[in-house]
Structure formats: structure tokens, C-alpha cells
Amino acid sequence: MTQIAAAFAICFAEVRQHDHDRFLTVLLAPASARDALLALYAFNLEIGRIPAAVSEPMMGHIRLQWWRETVEGLDRGETRGHAVAEVLAATNLPREGLLALIDARERDLSEEPFADLPALESYAATTSAAVMHLASGTLAAAAPEHVICSAGIAYALTGLLRALPLHASQGRLFMPADLLRRHEVDPHTVLAGAMTEGLRGVMCDVADRARVLLAEARRELVPQAALPALLPAALCDRYLDLMTARAFDPFRQTTDMPAFRLQLRLLRAKMTGRI
């Protein structure tokens, strides 16, 4: 196996294990786009898990700077022996877009909560929606920017709700501060893994906003060739339904679904042309 083939194999395994939704959408993309999509999702995974891997913010900033310098050196063949950098170097993903994703991840290292839902959506636009935008650029046709933005933010809000127990176990909380106050939720109870009616209210508010954004993204058909970039959002409805069920406790129940159910939803979205 060549070095680049080995690097792609490593990224394939990482995305399959740690970002399974997007992994399944790669399999439904044209063969000509799969390498770039896999490289993009592996990179997004790599920088997205930095906060959980460091003991203090400064170490996270150092790692992000390492990735900035690595991305800047890709066109000179400087991959620093990292599998993700090697697969990025083999693609035409825009370097400025990758650098923008690194900049957006600086927010993950802040201990300041998001003030309100618009602030959280702004963050989601520079992370999840930006990833969808870059994914769209690998395909033969592009979806309208406002569709990408709405779908990407909806997918991010859904993902943050799903990741709430994981983030809480790491001492991190992404739910907007104003919603926590409105529903009289003590952040310490969330970080301690306690489900309350107040937290249920916060989760339902965020889920409602995700549904509104999904509806906006679905108002117009997108070119069939552009659909693979948006397909992750097709999985949001089921996740949101599970998390807003009356008896759901995110600290004791999971939203994970069998792979075949996810594949059926994605296939239906691809066949109908709607996420």
C-alpha cells in the first residue's frame, strides 16, 4: 500500500467511527468527489476534537496554530507526516476555507457561554454550515448559499443537542445562556448530568429552531448533483423527534440509530431530491 493510500485508509476508518453520519453520505457521493469529501470530514473531525484532547485552552490554541501552519504548507508538499494533512494535500479543497474552519474552532476553547441562540447560530454558520459549503464545492453543482446555511446550522444545532451529555462530561456547555435563564436551569446541574424539566425546555427550544431552519432549507429543490453535501441534514428529523420525546433523558438514553435506518433515510433523500 502506498503512503497516500495508507493515509486515506486511516481517514476512512476515523470518519467511519467518529463521524458516521457524514461517512454514510460520502458513500452516496459521486466517486470523483469522495476523496475530497473524506479529506474534508477527516480534517473537520481532527480540529473539532482538539478541545476535548487538551487540559487547558493554551494547548488547544497551539494545536490549532500547528494546523494553520500545516494547511499553509500543503501546496509546498509539507504534510508533517500527518495522515489528514497528506489526504488534504492530495485534494483541491480551498486552503482559505480550511483556514477559516480553524479560526472558527478557536471559539471552542473559550469558557464563555453563548449569550443567546443567534450567537450559537453564528458559530454554527462558521463551522457546520462552512463544512457543507466546502463539501458543496467538491461536487458538480452547488446548492444555493442560503440553503446550505440553513441546513448546516440545523445540522449543527441537532448535533449539539445530541452531544450535550458528552460535552457535559467534559465540563462544556453549548446551550445558550438566555435559554438557560428563561427555563431556570442551573448550568451546574447540567454539567453534573441531571435531567430537569427546565433543561427539557431548553432542548425543545433549540430543537424547534432547528426544525424551522430545516423547513427553510427544504423550500426549494437543489440540483441532484449538489445533494450529497446537504444529506447529513436529512437525518435531523429523527434525532430531533427522539430528543424532544416527553420521557427522553439525554444522560441515560441515546439517539444512535442502526446504520441501515440511517442509510434508508439518506437514500430516500437522494431519490426524492429533498433533504
What pLDDT does 222 receive?
Answer: 87
Predicted pLDDT at 273? 86
pTM for this predicted structure? 0.95
- Is the model more confident about 221 or about 107? 107
Residue 274 pLDDT: 87
Average pLDDT over all residues of the chain = 95
The closest alpha carbon to 269, from 230, 214, 238, 212, belongs to 230
| Confidence tier at 155 by pLDDT (50, 70, 90) | very high
Would you say residue 46 has pLDDT above 90?
yes
- The pLDDT of residue 207 is 98
Mean pLDDT for the stretch of residues 30-47 = 97
What's residue 58's pLDDT? 95
pLDDT computed for residue 250 by the predictor = 97
Provide the percentage of residues in the chain whose pLDDT is more than 70.
Answer: 100
**pLDDT for position 184:** 97
pLDDT (0 to 100) of residue 140: 84
Q: pLDDT tier at 221 (50, 70, 90 boundaries)? A: confident
Check pLDDT > 90 for residue 12: yes
At residue 55 the predicted structure's pLDDT band, cuts being 50, 70 and 90, is confident
pLDDT digits (tens, 9 = 90+) for 240-266: 999 999 999 999 999 999 999 999 999
Q: Map out the domains of the chain as residue ranges.
A: 1-110, 112-275
* pLDDT confidence of residue 85: 97
For domain 112-275, the question of CATH label 1.10.600.10 is answered with: yes
pLDDT of residue 50: 95
